[in-house]
Structures are given as C-alpha cells and as structure tokens.
Amino acid sequence: MARGPSRGYTAVAVAACGWGTWGLIIRAAERFGPLDASVDAAIVMVAITLVAFVLLAVERARGVRAPDRPRLREWLGVAWLGFADAMNVMLLFAAYRHTSMSIAVTTHYLAPIFVAGAAPLALAERAHVRTYLAVATGLLGLVLLLQPWSEALERHDLFGAACGAGSAVFYASNVIINKKLLHAFTAVELMAFHGVVGAPLLVALVPHAAWGTLHPLSALVLVGGGVGPGALGGVMFIWGLRTVPAAHASTLTLLEPLVTVILAIAVVGEHLALASWLGAGLILAGAVAVFRGEGSV
C-alpha cells in the first residue's frame, strides 16, 4: 500500500468494495431459509461489535492509544454513532422492503451530497471544486447504473425512497462524527464502543418470532459477513478517515453499489443496459478524480 495520504484513500476504497459483497452474503444466508431483515441487521451488528472488542484487546496490548483522552462530549458522540448506525441500517432495510433495490440504493447514496454540504461547516474542511465535481459525477453515474425510473412508481415506492433518504442522513452523520472523534478514539475503539449502543438496540427491535425461523448456517454466514466487510471493513474506513477528507471518503463509498452490480453480473448472470455501463464508468471516473485530488478538499 502506498505511503502518505494514499494509504487512507486506499483503505476507504477497499472498505467500500468489501461492502459491495453484502448482496452475495445475504443471498448465501437465505439459501438455508427465509430471513427477517431485522435479524440480518442484529446478527451482523453483534458480530461486528464482538470482533471489534477482540481487536481492541490486541490494540491495548500493543499500547496503541488515540492522541487525546475522550471527554464527556466525545463519549456522547460515540453514543450518537451507535444510535445513528442502528437507524441507518433499519431505514435502509425498510427501504429494501417497500421499494425496489435501485430506488433504495439511489436514495441511500444521497449521503455524499449531505457530507459534501456539511463538511465545510462541521469539520472546517475547505470546499474544493474538484470535490463537488467528483460527487456530482459519481451520483450521476449511480443513477444511470441503477435506473430507478425503469419501473412504474407506486405509493409504497415513495415511502421506500423516504426511508432510503433517511438512512442517508444518518449515514452522512456517521461519517462526520467519526471524523470529529478520531482525535480521542482509535478506529477500533470507535467501532467497538458504538456497537455497545447499536447492537442491543437492533437486537431489541427484532420480532420474537423471527428468531425461531433462523437457521444456524444462515447465522454462520451472517457472522462471517460481520467479521469481514463488517468489522474489518468498518475499521479500515474509519482509519482511512484520519487522512481522507469526509467528502472524498463518502464519494469513494459509491464503489459499493458498483461492486454489487459487478458481482451480480459475474455470479448471478444479470445483464446491464448501455446506460448502466455508462453509469459504472462515471462512478469510476468520480473515484479516480478523488484519488487524483488527494490532500485537497
């Protein structure tokens, strides 16, 4: 991995690509029986939290510490991360239930716009024309890739789109708050401590009957996802935020739906229209623009 800021950009990009495998992980888990979306979210969050605490024990044994000691304000920020992450997952899964995947993903990935708009105020990051162009290019590419207009829209689609946009708000807040807390916590600490709030909340929201339909092998697959793209991907993303402007990081996360679509083509045999291929190219162009703009906000 390259030295300097490139390491942070690469970490964020790798994390986003790893998150793009969630579709295959969920599909693999569902081979053993139907799954309630709330069960998926709860198991994954619990696995992420447990793995993060194992990594934290290793980190403490090595004497790794954040530059500053956290104060009450920083601990409240961690509590918000746990709540916001749970809400992000819940609303995104609600969007998947009430509308098409394309509409859910498109509205969820309004997050880069929210981050680009909030970062200059919340993080004092200087706005840069290249950043806004990268965000616009990536989002245009996402719309062309998924083509949310391809199906007739109904009333439930509007509710699903609202849920997706709501998840984008919480997702964007997590990017901003993670960035603000990195002076007082390591990436592993943030991943572990916010799970203390998020995991019990998601478990509590699972309908009791849903646990009875869970197949052990489905749970094992979901735990594997929590370890890989969940915990390790999350730590890489937060670690990368140390050197990557928040707007750049959120733009690079557009690689997630791109990887999801690529895997759908390679593994499931799905096909893309010409406009979707153009969209994929625009997402990559936005990512390349972010990499070329390393260090500029």
Q: How far apart are the first and last CA of the chain?
A: 22
**pLDDT category of residue 293 using cuts at 50, 70 and 90:** low
Contact in structure between 207 and 91 (CB atoms under 8 Å)? no
Is residue 231 a part of any domain in this protein? Answer: yes
What angle do helix axes 255-263 and 22-29 make, rounded to 10 degrees?
A: 50
Give me the domain span that covers residue 267.
Answer: 5-292
Is residue 214 a part of any domain in this protein? Answer: yes
**Which residues, including other chains, have CB under 8 Å from residue 23's CB and lie 6 or more apart?**
260, 263, 264
pLDDT in tens, 47-91: 999 999 999 999 999 999 999 999 999 999 999 999 999 999 888
**pLDDT category of residue 153 using cuts at 50, 70 and 90:** low
For residue 60 the two structure tokens come to 């403490």
- CA distance linking residue 230 with residue 249, whole number of Å: 17
For 203, the enclosing helix (H) or strand (E) is helix 187-204
Share of the chain above pLDDT 70, in %: 94
Alpha-carbon distances, residue 104 vs 126, 160, 189 (angstroms): 31, 7, 30
Is residue 263 a part of any domain in this protein? Answer: yes
What angle do helix axes 233-240 and 37-61 make, rounded to 10 degrees?
A: 60
Q: With a cut of 70, say whether residue 297 has pLDDT above it.
A: no
- CA distance linking residue 264 with residue 257, whole number of Å: 10
Is residue 43 a part of any domain in this protein? Answer: yes
- CA distance linking residue 206 with residue 289, whole number of Å: 41
Is residue 114 a part of any domain in this protein? Answer: yes
Q: With a cut of 80, say whether residue 151 has pLDDT above it.
A: no
pLDDT in tens, 236-269: 999 999 999 998 998 899 898 888 888 878 887 7
Q: What is the pTM of this model?
A: 0.86
Q: With a cut of 60, say whether residue 2 has pLDDT above it.
A: no
Is residue 297 a part of any domain in this protein? Answer: no
- Number of domains within the chain: 1
- CA distance linking residue 47 with residue 98, whole number of Å: 27
For residue 79 the two structure tokens come to 């509590």
Cα-based torsion angle of the residue sequence 104, 106, 108, 110 in order, rounded to the nearest 10 degrees: -150
State the average pLDDT over residues 124-150: 80
